[in-house]
Amino acid sequence: MVHVPSDRGISGSALIRLLTRLGQGPAPASELPLSDRLSQWLGWTDAIALSAVLGGNSPAVPLGTKTFGEPEERDCARTRADLAKAIIEDSAFAPPPKPRPGQPRAPARPARPADADAEYAYYRQRYHFLQRTMETAIGNLRSRLRGILAAQSAGMTRLAVLDAIMDRALAARERSLLTAVPGLLEPHFERLRQAAQAEAQQAAADAGEPARAPDAAWLDVFRKDMQSVLLAELDIRLQPVEGLLAALRAC
């Protein structure tokens, strides 16, 4: 059985702690404070736009009667729940449920390979698919919340514009960093498989039997770990939405 080291003492988000634990090594510490790192991610046009907003140039409040209340709260909660369900029920982690008599057949999904034929390419593809699903749904939700926020007051309009600028400025950087996550999981996949193969070979040798394939317990461990990383990434992606919600609740 592969021993995964504890993440005690590791600071940062749940996603960083998980990736550090699964990577079996310490996370590299940044030598720059957040403000300096952020300045490296912003282009000069973004800096000008931010300066204009932060300098007190109040944008015009859009005309409209958009309000925030229980329906919008439910919409946000539903988006989070739907995305979490998409991760939990993805074909990478469980076969699609069999339709009940009279129930419409669910859309076809890529079949999960047999455990004995498991290759990481399949899990990488599913991870990227779920990332695209999260990016689209959260981007649409964030845009809707900005529209509601901008209709509240001049101060809230400024905050909505600030969020839109940061979203545009950091989107490419965020996408680049998060699309690298599946690559960080591949060594964990290979370590688990190799350890299971070694255990199976040793057990066969001890019993004087021919070599045999390992059982699927190692793959179940990996699937659970991958699912946990995806859920932690969902929390990271939803942080800007939580910030907009906090502002709207305070209006």
The mean pLDDT of 7-32, rounded to a whole number, is 69
Contact of 112 with 95, CB cutoff 8 Å: yes
Task: Reply yes or no on whether the pLDDT at 5 is more than 90.
Answer: no
% of the chain residues with pLDDT over 70:
71
The pLDDT assigned to 11 comes to 47
Q: What are 52-103's pLDDT values in tens digits? A: 777 766 555 565 556 777 888 899 999 999 999 999 999 998 755 555 665 5
Average pLDDT for the chain? 80
- Chain centroid to Cα 46, Å, comes to 25
Residues 37, 103: contact at Cβ < 8 Å? no
Pick the residue with more confidence: 127 or 151?
Answer: 127
Of residues 2 and 169, which shows the higher confidence score? 169
Give pLDDT, residue 10: 40
Residue with more model confidence, 161 or 46 = 161
Q: What is the pLDDT of residue 223?
A: 95
Query: Which segment of 3-17, 35-49, 130-144 scores lowest on mean pLDDT?
Result: 3-17
pLDDT score of 45: 76
pLDDT number for residue 99: 56
DSSP output for 21-43: HHHTSPPPPPSS-HHHHHHHH--
Cβ atoms of 22 and 188 closer than 8 Å: yes
Q: What is the mean pLDDT of residues 41-57?
A: 70
d(CA 76, CA 130): 18
Contacts of 154 (CB under 8 A, 6+ apart): 58, 59, 61
pLDDT, residue 110, reads: 55
The pTM of the full predicted model, rounded to 2 decimals, is 0.79
Tokens found for residue 178: 């998060």
- Identify whether the C-beta of residue 127 lies closer than 8 Å to the C-beta of residue 181: yes
Predicted confidence (pLDDT) per residue in 176-213, tens digit = 999 999 999 999 999 999 998 888 787 777 777 776 66
pLDDT tops 50 at residue 8: no
Q: How many CB atoms lie within 10 A of CB 143?
A: 13
Question: Tokens 């070979």 identify what position?
Answer: 201
Tell me the one-letter amino acid at 47.
A
Supply the pLDDT for residue 65: 56
Confidence at residue 61, expressed as pLDDT on a 0 to 100 scale: 55
Q: How far apart (Å, rounded) are the C-alpha atoms in residues 177 and 224?
A: 22
Band (pLDDT 50/70/90 cuts) for residue 9 is very low
Q: What angle do CA 120, 236, 31 make, to 5 degrees?
A: 90
Kind plus residue range of the DSSP H or E element containing 105: none
Note the pLDDT tens digit of each residue in 102-122.
555 544 455 565 565 678 999
Smallest CA-to-CA distance from 239 within 170, 147, 142, 144 is with: 142
